[in-house]
Amino acid sequence: MPHQRQAFFTQNRNLQRAVSAGLLVVLIAACIVACGGSTSGLSVSGTAATGAALANADINLRCIGGTGTAKTGTDGSYTVFAEGGTAPCMLEADTGSNKLHSVVVSGNTANITPLTEQLVANLSADSVDTTAFFAGFGSSSAALLSADNISKAQAAVFASLSSAGIATNGLTDVLKAPLVAKTSTQTGNNHDQVLDTVASTAVPVKIIAINDFHGNFQELSFTSSGGSMVLPDGSATSKLNVGGAAYLATVVKNIRAKNANNIMVGAGDLMAASPFASAINHDESTVDILNQIGVEVSSVGNHEFDRGITELKRIQNGGCYPAGNGQGVVGVDTCLMPGGTFSGAKYKYLAANVIDTSTGKPTLPATYIKRFGTVSVGFIGLTLKATPNSVSADGVSGLRFDDEVTVINKYASQLKAQGVTAVAVLIHQGGQTTATTVNDKTCPGFSGDIKSILDKLNGSVDLVVSGHTHQEYVCNYPTPSGKSILLTSTGFYGQAVSEIDLTLKPGVGLVSASANTVPVIRSISSNKVPTGFAAVEKDATIDALVKTYVSLSIDAGKVVVGSVATDIKRALDNVGRDETNESALANVMADSYLSGVPGYTADVAFVNPGAVRQDLLKTAAGKADGAVLYSELATIEPFANNLMVLNLTGAQIIRLLEEQWETPNNTAKTNPATKTVGRILGVSKGFTYTYDNNAASGAAKGSGARVVSGSVMLNGITLDAAKTYKIVTNSYLATGSAPDNFTTLTLQGANKLDTKIIDLDAFVAYFKANANLSSPTPRVTRLN
């Protein structure tokens, strides 16, 4: 009996409050009429609660034509009036640390609870920022609030409750069903009890992560970089062949099958610096394949900026590559999807710290929210602040890369204040461990640039998915604040995925987090799979797609980019490859270097003979006589080195020439037939010199004397030993650690600058600009 009496009094009090609120609205309306104002508008009442009442929360009402604000009472009840407003409307309850949303389509009642928040999320895309949805609500988005959509969204809420095993206690309408919230003086009704159960029910969520894929959708050989992984095998180890998009797709499918609450994410460098089959079509193939595997959101990496922000936005939004310079040919190097289209990445690129300096805002979205029934995960995506150091200036023009920590902490706090259950950071920055097998979760000897970022993260961050260092790790990283943050990275080229398990509770947050690195092990006989790991078969759909793109890339390689009037061979004497003698093709390549960097006013270019991998023949199978195919140039110059400019004095240039025959180059390359030794550099047009083949070779570094004194000329003028000349060469010679003994360039080159221009691009452009090229006349004179 006392219980019934309390319920009666509670209901009576609620009735009194409702009557009071109604009277207040009537009085306000009367006052407005008396003052000559309009009485039109919409009054909405309800209760804001999460099980417990949301007391003293700000209520914001946005209707078509008007807005209103109010505060909740101690029992979470509210009434709010939007002057001039008509339905549909959206509601927001803001406690200062959490925001919940709701909708009004008809009538004057709307509760605001975690279930209405879920309903609002369901109204838009699967993943929606409900705070942004509310802030941007207006006539254009009002159509989303149709009765039919509300009905479907409500059904989805009940379906998720059912799948989570939460009894609904007769609740059939989360928006309008009476809600009496629990307070210190009243118990909650059946509706409130459902909210209590929701709040106390943990939800398992699975995140599948990759990083540094770099367009490697083809299967890599066992010996290729990224083609294998070392797995623990009891107290020993096993090295297995891994990777390939068709196998990756199966691994992802298998993981998804374990938990419907899943999302696949990336931590940057998913494209660019990619193999020919992807690079030839500006990585559209990679985007298509990752779309179909199901990546949903990714941070940008430094390589996403390789071709500039405009191109990155095309990759995101779709559209064909701009036509010009032989590129942007629909069906050949762009718009290879059905109907000659490219729809762009279905996954959202996030760039929280990449600011468009003209607007002061991120150039791409900063965050992405994914809802899994009663819980949600907010993702923040960003790249390393030092991205401009590894990208051409053009690629990042008009962009500012902000400090990672400041940006993460800002958005993490915002996301938590918006009510997301957990915050995950997708960052293209990483670390390294000293583990020697994959999936060593002790994370031994962890070091690297990401440490200083992790150490300063605020308590709102729950998970960090990283990349950039091409390493693999699963760490529970202890921050100085005492919080342990799960940190993952998967290696590179699609070798593996991180399978991350989060347990989340609505209104509580992250309850537990763990992860495994799952290698993409191919089911092939040479792979002996250790206990605890599994091999997979190819996914047929993705396999077919990979084959299609490889086939298209072969066709695209047949594009004619120039013409020759004669063969241009590596060696002048037609013996094929001979690094000990002047190379006609190396000289043409040097010419392309010089013309490839027009803005740098370079004087001379040098090419190492080893950079020229094939002769260019006028007549060959599969092409018209004299035609030069893209694939031919890509075969001749396949390394994708960047062109670099640097300064050398005339004296240093002569030392560079002497290095051609100094030890150890004198024995590295020899030709008994011509009695020549050493590595002869390709030189650009206008640069000439004479050397004496009878003079001693193999002198110690810095003491060779084969170049005939006074013979070195640039455009017919003797080289000035004291003068500084600007040199163009490739990054292998300019910065390599073992640059074929040409250390004058690496060690003495001053004011080195990476032009970020790829040697092959310069080579192709040179052939496009110079039709009917012939083998150039010799530039080096050999005495004896």
Partner 1 sequence: MQKSILRHLVCLLLGAMGTGAMAGQPSTAQFDALRQAARQGQEQCFTQIYRDTNAYALCIRELARTHAEQPMEQLGFLYFGFVGALSYMRVSQAGVEPIAHEFLKSFRKIQKSTGLSDAQLCASVPGNCEIRIGQTLAMERAPAPAPMRALRPVCQAGVCRIDGQ
- In the region spanning residues 621 to 680, those forming contacts with partner 1, defined by CB under 8 A, are 622, 629, 631-632, 634-635, 638-640
Nearest approach in angstroms of CB 419 to partner 1 is 31
CB nearer to partner 1: pick between 319 and 638: 638
Decide if residue 613 touches partner 1 (CB under 8 A): yes
**Are the beta carbons of 115 and 164 closer than 8 angstroms?**
no
Cβ proximity to partner 1: between 413 and 476 the closer is 476
Q: How many residues sit in the footprint of partner 1 (CB under 8 A)? A: 64
Dist CA 237 CA 219 (whole Å)? 22
Q: Does 228 bind partner 1 (CB under 8 A)?
A: yes
Under rule CB under 8 A, which residues in 532-551 are in contact with partner 1?
550
d(Cα 284, Cα 342) in Å, to the nearest integer?
Answer: 7
Question: What is the C-alpha separation between 336 and 570, in angstroms, rounded?
Answer: 36
CA distance linking residue 562 with residue 559, whole number of Å? 9
**Selection from 548, 556, 551, 552 nearest residue 289 by Cα:** 548
**Identified binder of partner 1 from the candidate list 236, 257, 722, 747, rule CB under 8 A:** 236
Nearer to partner 1, 373 or 431 (CB): 431
Three-class SS state of 216:
coil
Backbone angles phi, psi at 756, to 5 degrees: 65, 10
* Nearest-10 crossing angle of helices 584-596, 759-769: 100
Q: Which stretch binds partner 1 (CB under 8 A): 47-55, 128-136, 470-478, 651-659?
A: 470-478
Between CA 218 and CA 215 the distance in angstroms is 8
Among 477, 593, 606, 661, binds partner 1 (CB under 8 A): 477
554 binds partner 1 per the rule CB under 8 A: yes
Nearest approach in angstroms of CB 621 to partner 1 is: 10
Q: How far is the CB of 701 from partner 1 (least distance, A)?
A: 17
Q: Which is nearer to partner 1, 118 or 432 (CB)?
A: 432
Contact letters for partner 1, residues 247-286 (x by CB under 8 A): ----------------------------xxx---------
| Helix-then-strand count for the chain, H and E | 20, 38
CA distance 560 to 332: 12
Binding to partner 1 by CB under 8 A, coded x per residue (else -) over 583-612, reads ---------------------------x--
Options 141-149, 397-405, 490-498, 591-599: segment touching partner 1 (CB under 8 A): 490-498
| Distance, CA of 696 to CA of 712 (rounded, Å) | 19
Kindly state the smallest distance separating residue 268's Cβ from partner 1, in Å: 14
d(CA 761, CA 561): 11
Stretch that binds partner 1, among 143-151, 236-244, 288-296, 593-601 (CB under 8 A): 236-244
CA distances from residue 233 to 175, 435, 441, 530 in whole angstroms, order as listed: 55, 14, 15, 5
Binding mask 558-587 for partner 1 (x = CB under 8 A): x-----------------------------
Q: Pick from 171, 179, 203, 435: which binds partner 1 (CB under 8 A)? A: 435
170 counts as binding partner 1 under rule CB under 8 A: no
Judged by beta carbon, residue 365 or residue 431, the one nearer partner 1 is 431
Q: Compute the distance between CA of residue 258 and CA of residue 625 in angstroms, rounded to an integer.
A: 58
Nearer to partner 1 (CB atom), residue 298 or residue 433: 433
Q: Does 448 bind partner 1 (CB under 8 A)?
A: yes
Please choose, from the candidates 613, 684, 611, the residue with its C-alpha nearest in 3D space to the C-alpha of residue 641: 611
Is residue 618 within 8 Å of 562, Cβ to Cβ? Answer: no
Q: Applying CB under 8 A, does 474 fall inside the site for partner 1? A: no
Candidate segments 87-95, 140-148, 226-234, 283-291, binder of partner 1 by CB under 8 A:
226-234
Q: 739: cis peptide before it, omega within 30°? A: no
In the complex, the smallest distance separating the C-beta of residue 502 from partner 1, rounded to whole angstroms, is: 19
**Residue 239 or 768 with smaller CB distance to partner 1:** 239
Nearer to partner 1, 100 or 607 (CB): 607
Minimum distance from residue 731 beta carbon to partner 1 (Å): 10
The amino acid present at 168, given as its one-letter code, is: T
Q: Which of 379, 446, 763, 767 binds partner 1 (CB under 8 A)?
A: 446
Q: Does 475 bind partner 1 (CB under 8 A)?
A: yes
Are 495 and 229 contacting, i.e. CB atoms less than 8 angstroms apart? yes
Q: At what angle do helices 284-293 and 245-256 cross, to 10 degrees?
A: 20
- CA separation, residue 642 to residues 155, 594, 596, 605 (Å): 56, 13, 11, 13
Of 86-94, 181-189, 429-437, 717-725: span binding partner 1 (CB under 8 A): 429-437
What the block records as the tokens of 755 is 């032009």
- Select from 220-228, 288-296, 420-428, 455-463 the region that touches partner 1 (CB under 8 A): 220-228
Using alpha carbons only, what angle is made at residue 97 by residues 95 and 98, rounded to the nearest 5 degrees?
70
Beta bridge partners of 428: 383
Residue 259 or 614 with smaller CB distance to partner 1: 614
Among the listed residues 72, 79, 154, 432, the single contact to partner 1 using CB under 8 A:
432
Residue 310 or 551 having the CB closest to partner 1? 551
Which residue in 156, 443, 511, 617 binds partner 1 (CB under 8 A)? 443
- With CB under 8 A as the contact rule, the residue among 469, 592, 729, 755 that binds partner 1 is 469
Q: Helices marked H in 180-244 — which ranges?
A: 190-200
Q: What is the DSSP letter of 221?
A: P
Nearer to partner 1 by C-beta: 107 or 532?
Answer: 532
Report how far apart, in Å, the C-alpha atoms of 101 and of each of 48, 452, 510, 647, 679 are. 9, 37, 22, 63, 72
Instruction: Report the nearest approach of partner 1 to the CB of residue 220 (Å).
Output: 9
Which amino acid type is present at position 657?
L
Of these, 162, 221, 254, 703, which contacts partner 1 (CB under 8 A)? 221
DSSP of 332-394, one letter per residue? TTB--BTTTB----SSEEE-TTEEETTTTEESS-SEEEEEETTEEEEEEEEE-TTGGGGS-GG
Please check whether residue 198 is in contact with residue 374, taking contact to mean a CB–CB distance below 8 angstroms: yes
Cβ atoms within 10 Å of 340's Cβ, excluding its own: 11
720-759: which residues touch partner 1 (CB under 8 A)? 736-738
Rounded to whole angstroms, how far apart are CA atoms 741 and 353? 42
> Which residues of the shown chain bind partner 1 in the complex (CB under 8 A)?
221, 223-230, 232, 235-237, 239, 275-277, 432-438, 440, 442-449, 468-472, 475-478, 491-492, 495, 550, 553-554, 557-558, 610, 613, 622, 629, 631-632, 634-635, 638-640, 736-738
